[in-house]
Chain A
Amino acid sequence: QKEVEQDPGPLSVPEGAIVSLNCTYSNSAFQYFMWYRQYSRKGPELLMYTYSSGNKEDGRFTAQVDKSSKYISLFIRDSQPSDSATYLCATHTGTASKLTFGTGTRLQVTL
């Protein structure tokens, strides 16, 4: 079993839709949770960074962590074609150790 599971998609939504991207993880030692966006042939770009359970909002993006169920989510409101990319969840234990990534979900926002 992978430490972080993520549905690879692809996920196709119309412009303006609310997008929900999700990951589950198995290691209860994970404390810090991140979402990265990766455009084709580019490096991942950090979108959101959260610690422990709760919500964090930044513009159209909301990151949600539920440590009791080991479930992390990223919501994108009013999705735009420019949001079309692969979204990667990542986590680490907080000891400056390696990031553990999900496999990424490919999102396509259509006009």
Chain B
Amino acid sequence: EAGVTQSPTHLIKTRGQQATLRCSPISGHTSVYWYQQALGLGLQFLLWYDEGEERNRGNFPPRFSGRQFPNYSSELNVNALELEDSALYLCASSLGSAKAEAFFGQGTRLTVV
């Protein structure tokens, strides 16, 4: 069974540009979570989608947005990129029930220059 897949693996953008990151959850999983892991920091919660709806949002500016598609895949958009947005962006998926474990993909490493 395929795990959580993220694309691209690496992404280099210029300050002010937009970045789009994609995530395909494990088959059958309806919840998708996005986290940012900057160098030296822990995983910071960005967004949670379940059944196509945004359920929760972390303490990030509105230029971080996303959506979940009918097939439960998701994309994260970061507008007006800033140098400090450089980080590993991790996607996790779960069955969506209260007790479900979350499984992570390998991440997209975004570098803003």
User: Which A residues fall within an 8 A CB radius of B?
Assistant: 6, 32, 34, 36, 41-46, 49, 51, 88, 90, 94-104
- Within B28-85, which residues are at the interface with A (CB < 8 Å)? 31, 33, 35, 41-43, 45, 48, 50, 55-56, 58
Is B100 touching A88 in the complex (CB atoms < 8 A)? no
Q: With A and B bound together, what is the CA distance between A75 and B50 in angstroms? A: 34
User: Is B21 an interface residue when CB atoms closer than 8 A count as contact?
Assistant: no
Nearest CB on B from A86, distance (A): 10
Number of chain B interface residues as a range? 20 to 34
Q: Among A41, A42, A46, A88, which residue has its beta carbon within 8 angstroms of that of B103?
A: A46
**In the complex, the 4 A-B pairs of residues with the closest C-beta atoms, listed nearest first:** A103-B42, A43-B104, A101-B43, A98-B45
Minimum Cβ distance to chain A for residue B43 (Å): 4
Known interface pairs A32-B99, A44-B90, A103-B41; A98-B104 also in contact (CB < 8 Å): no
Quote the shortest CB–CB distance from A81 to chain B (angstroms): 22
Partner of B94, one of A6, A36, A96, A102: A96
Of chain A, the residue at the smallest CB distance from B43 is A101
Asked whether A97 lies within 8 Å of B90 as measured between CB atoms, the reply is: no
Contact B97 A43 (CB under 8 A): no
